[in-house]
Structure 1
Amino acid sequence: MSDQSEQSSPANATPATISMADGQLLLTRTPGVLTVTLNRPERMNAMTSGIYAALAEVAASLTGDRDTRAVVITGAGGKAFSAGNEISAFTQMSTGEEGVGYEAGIREVMRGLAELDQVTIAAIDGACVGGGLAVATYCDIRVATTGSRFGYPIARTLGNALAAPVLHRCVETFGESLTKEMLLASRLVDADRAYAVGALAEVVADRAGLEAAVERITTGIRRAAPLTLATTKAQLRRRATILDAVSGDEELLIAAYGSADFAEGVRAFVAGEKPTFTGR
């Protein structure tokens, strides 16, 4: 993996951490487990192109890795797993086709996560929206603190649209009713409602409880038969519409990303104003 610097630690102390994407992504290894930390707490761990590229690199590096049994993805700072994509990425976007390319790139990162043989766990503490929610839904298991919130409020903020596989994965995880609330009503779903529909394996009080829940889950995974886990994941991938583009989706994305409303949404977000959408 590129752009890595190892932070040394004394023997029997905290495991060493590897930094990627100029410190925006941190990797920590313990026996059988790789913890991946989104590390932009000052921006509520907003997803950048560097983070997406680093996630893709991590996923590629795990191919054939028999020592790593579980991958835990979490966010630094205690306020957010990730509050979405870094909006500055959209400021230079001027055509709908650029939006299609952007969504295709994200879909390939999600493909890398979904195709891992290792069990993936999203450990969520705080806001989990937009691109952060996409990452979480493409993980196999999710645990969260009581204060966590989930959603895709893009209809009220940016005026773009999700790629169909990302949307369908949200439906697979939260169900159609809550997904419609997230996208059509721009409502955030709290942890208790997410747990009630099976989107979360556990809801815990605080960060300490979150770490304990992850430890319980990863302990069980380390004891399980790797081939059983990998086979089960492969079987689930074959039945789910979570990886491939859907016929007609590109045209819809071109219309959304090429719209005046999307340009207005990005402008208003960057300016800290409320957008005025016109349907054009």
Structure 2
Amino acid sequence: MTFNNLIIEAKNRILYVTINREAKLNALNKETLKEINLAINKARADDGVKGIIITGAGEKAFVAGADISEFSAYNTEEGKKLAKAGHHDVFDLIENCPKPVIAAINGFALGGGLELAMACHIRMASSNAKMGLPEVTLGLIPGYGGTQRLPNLVGKGRAMEMIMSANMITADQALSFGLINQVLETKEELMNAASKLMENIIQKSPNALKSAIKAINASSNPQKNGFEIEIEEFSNCFGTADFKEGVSAFLEKRKPRFH
């Protein structure tokens, strides 16, 4: 499969998805969003892929936002279709991916870029990263889940301040807010750390990881009972080969070999 706006690389059971529009600070246009959808769906269906890392090309930006030129003349109905398509085809798709997804944030993650990072299961950043949701300066609000995911990550008060002020925050501030998990000095260190963490994660039971993602996501979904989802997923694990292998390995004092 050929992509115009993404660089796709598979290594050690990890799929690296690099948004490659460096001249546009990796801004998300319609074609890029469509390609991200295709890449994530392909990764979900590929048994050889156990985890996904998303980053941006170059040193300046993860994703500096949506490509404003594409929707500057939209009306109300077109705006609704834009948001719905983004939610369904990309952002919710990533959040509900049964395989772990890490965002490696290098440089600017603004607007749709920060929303993309927040849809990932884990976020890490280089020290030069700047994050924010500046949509109110355009007469808009975040439309790809920012008003929902940000409060869950940093709390309602912080989210109100970030969205209404449109101010950017540094990587260190994002770490202190709980928006990201780690700060690394350079992009190279960031990618090495993201790869190391993912390599650790994908050694675990794929079935258990899938269940954990589903149960944790339910905790922030008011339409679902997270405790009931946890009970259901916990019980389902008992019927899997992964459970039998994990218990056998524990009793035999060896590392489990999950397939």
TM-score of the superposed pair, with normalisation by structure 1: 0.75
Q: What secondary structure sits across from 1:147 in the alignment?
A: coil
More helix by share: 2
Q: Distance in 2 between matches of 1:124 and 1:26?
A: 16
Alpha carbon RMSD of aligned pairs, Å? 1.9
Structure 2 equivalent of residue 236 of structure 1:
216
Q: Which of 52, 63, 81 pairs up with 1:101?
A: 81
Letter of the 1:136 counterpart = A
Which structure's relative contact order is higher, taking Cα pairs within 8 Å and 6+ residues apart? 1
Structure 2 equivalent of residue 110 of structure 1:
91
Asked if 1:40 is matched to 2:15, the reply is no
Structure 1 equivalent of residue 251 of structure 2:
none
Q: Which of 163, 170, 183 pairs up with 1:203?
A: 183
Letter of the 2:154 counterpart = F
Q: Which of 212, 216, 233 pairs up with 2:196?
A: 216
Structure 1: unaligned runs, 5 residues or longer: 5-19, 245-280
Q: Distance in 1 between matches of 2:87 and 2:214?
A: 18
Contact 1:165–1:241 (8 Å) recurs in 2: no
Alignment of 1:100-249 (within 5 A): 100-108=80-88, 109-156=90-137, 158-163=138-143, 165-241=145-221
Moved over 4 A (4+): none
Structure 2 equivalent of residue 14 of structure 1:
none
The change in CA–CA distance for 1:227 and 1:151 in structure 2 (over 3 A counts) is same
User: 1:47-73 CA deviation, whole Å, 9 max, x = no partner?
Assistant: 010111111112222334332111000
Contact 2:20–2:56 (8 Å) recurs in 1: yes
The change in CA–CA distance for 1:201 and 1:231 in structure 2 (over 3 A counts) is same
Letter of the 1:224 counterpart = K
Letter of the 1:233 counterpart = I
User: 1:168-203 CA deviation, whole Å, 9 max, x = no partner?
Assistant: 111112322322222111111111111112221110
Q: Distance in 2 between matches of 1:144 and 1:232?
A: 24
Letter of the 2:26 counterpart = N
Contact 1:107–1:166 (8 Å) recurs in 2: no
Structure 2: unaligned runs, 5 residues or longer: 225-259
Q: Distance in 1 between matches of 2:103 and 2:179?
A: 11
Q: Distance in 1 between matches of 2:48 and 2:222?
A: 27
Q: Distance in 2 between matches of 1:243 and 1:141?
A: 23
TM-score of the superposed pair, with normalisation by structure 2: 0.81
Q: What secondary structure sits across from 1:233 in the alignment?
A: helix
Contact 2:111–2:134 (8 Å) recurs in 1: yes
Q: What secondary structure sits across from 1:118 in the alignment?
A: coil
Q: What secondary structure sits across from 2:44 in the alignment?
A: coil
The change in CA–CA distance for 1:147 and 1:118 in structure 2 (over 3 A counts) is same
User: 1:209-255 CA deviation, whole Å, 9 max, x = no partner?
Assistant: 102211220120121111111000011222323999xxxxxxxxxxx
Q: Which of 1, 9, 12 pairs up with 1:31?
A: 12
Asked if 1:89 is matched to 2:70, the reply is yes
Contact 2:15–2:43 (8 Å) recurs in 1: no
Q: Distance in 2 between matches of 1:212 and 1:62?
A: 21
Letter of the 1:49 counterpart = K
Asked if 1:56 is matched to 2:37, the reply is yes
The change in CA–CA distance for 1:63 and 1:238 in structure 2 (over 3 A counts) is same
TM-superposed deviation, 1:112: 1.1
TM-superposed deviation, 1:164: 7.8
